[in-house]
Amino acid sequence: MLSFATPSVYQSSKCFVTYGVMGHLDPQHVPSKGKPWSSLLAQDFVHKVDLILPQELVQIVTDKIVGDPNRAPTFYKVIMTLGQIIDGDFFTEYIKIGNIIMLSEGRLDSDNVFSLKDGVLTMYLDKKTYERAGLVGKPQGVKGNRGFKPRWVVQFDLRSPSMLHGKKGFDRLAYACKNVLNTPLTWLFHNLSKTPVPDPLARHYPTKYTSNPDVSQELLTKVPQLKPPPAILSSQNRPDLDEFATDLYEWISLIRLGSPRVNVDDKIDPYLSGYAVPGESEMQEGKLCRISWQGFIPPKWTHRILADVILALPSKSWFSLSATSFARGLVGDSADCTILRPPNSPGEYFVWDIKRHE
């Protein structure tokens, strides 16, 4: 297995590339440790998932995965105050007992934004709100590079035994929610556990959404070599594999974006775009399909979809699965993960992990 960092054109991001071999996949016990599985589970709030595969395999995926309405990820949009989340049955059933993920509206670089995962409440606050709330946090971003509006991050493990009414730390949070952090916000909500009866969410009149797949077929595309040359793997030549992986990731990204630069009939003036599909001598023409899901998607869903795709497709066929998360603000948080299984390479894989550093 080779793992190394690929420099990004953006100073705030890094791309870590891994090429390795997966073990046998047991459909009843999908692994969670080791790549590529851990890369998908490391994401918190997935915004978009793209599956790219040859056109001739679309029917298999449609019959076994896309065509099943129960497999489409669902989520809710609800308006609540932060105080309502840490109070009553909602707090007990969904946070203390259950398991949910939530993300509030707003921009991390300018608004007060809140998130909840694994019982941990994370607050991104501006200076004024942070000082008024009287909570203990830490500055966001690298010292000296926080922009013109200093911001702070405050976290509470709401599943901790000390997070109860009557306890000093929790009462301080409740006081801040009542007197400072009391603005109703629009939240994205997804329940990862069994829904309690009666449902505490129902009293807040949530709106349910389903992320139905968007299927783009018959994409006549220039397809480069998708598997590293044997000479690179046998010699473990890191610089050459680095260059091969970078070119391949760029091609996959253009497919995801629907860029005409990879189309067979693209005739753009080279003065306007200097991009060329890598490996012209080994390049082929092929019909591809792109299947996309967009919404508020838990990482466990993309983890399961990867397993379903591997089990559904022939072992020698290739595919690419990418998951992009919402913008986040903690140092080193994963922003994008792309997995490629090369053709005629059962068990082998590429993983590109985009890490954001602020």
Whether 332 shows a pLDDT value over 70: the answer reads: no
CA distance 153 to 145: 15
Say which range, 62-71, 151-160, 336-345, has the weakest mean pLDDT: 62-71
How confident is the model over 290-319, as a mean pLDDT?
Answer: 95
Q: Would you give the end-to-end CA distance of the chain in angstroms?
A: 29
**Quick one: pLDDT at residue 149?**
64
* Mean pLDDT over each residue of the chain, to the nearest integer: 87
The per-residue DSSP string of 145-165 comes to -S-SS-EEEEEEETTSTT-ST
**Quick one: pLDDT at residue 16?**
86
CA count, 13 A, side-chain hemisphere, 221: 27
- Sorted by sequence, the CB contacts under 8 Å of residue 36 that are 6+ apart come out as 18, 22, 306, 337, 339, 349, 351
| Residue 151 or residue 159, greater confidence | 159
How confident is the model over 142-151, as a mean pLDDT?
Answer: 57
How confident is the model over 209-235, as a mean pLDDT?
Answer: 88
Whether 352 shows a pLDDT value over 70: the answer reads: yes
Whether 330 shows a pLDDT value over 50: the answer reads: no
pTM: 0.88
Confidence of residue 8 (pLDDT cuts 50, 70, 90): very low
Confidence of residue 144 (pLDDT cuts 50, 70, 90): very low
Most confident segment among 18-32, 193-207, 267-281: 193-207
How confident is the model over 207-225, as a mean pLDDT?
Answer: 93
Whether 169 shows a pLDDT value over 70: the answer reads: yes
Whole-angstrom CA distances from 21 to 1, 233, 267, 353 are 7, 12, 38, 17
Radius of gyration of the CA atoms of the chain, in A: 23
Closest by CA to 123, choosing from 134, 142, 108, is 108
At 103 the three-state DSSP class reads strand
**Quick one: pLDDT at residue 4?**
35
CA distance 321 to 302: 9
Whether 221 shows a pLDDT value over 50: the answer reads: yes
Confidence of residue 282 (pLDDT cuts 50, 70, 90): confident
Whether 266 shows a pLDDT value over 50: the answer reads: yes
Confidence of residue 291 (pLDDT cuts 50, 70, 90): very high
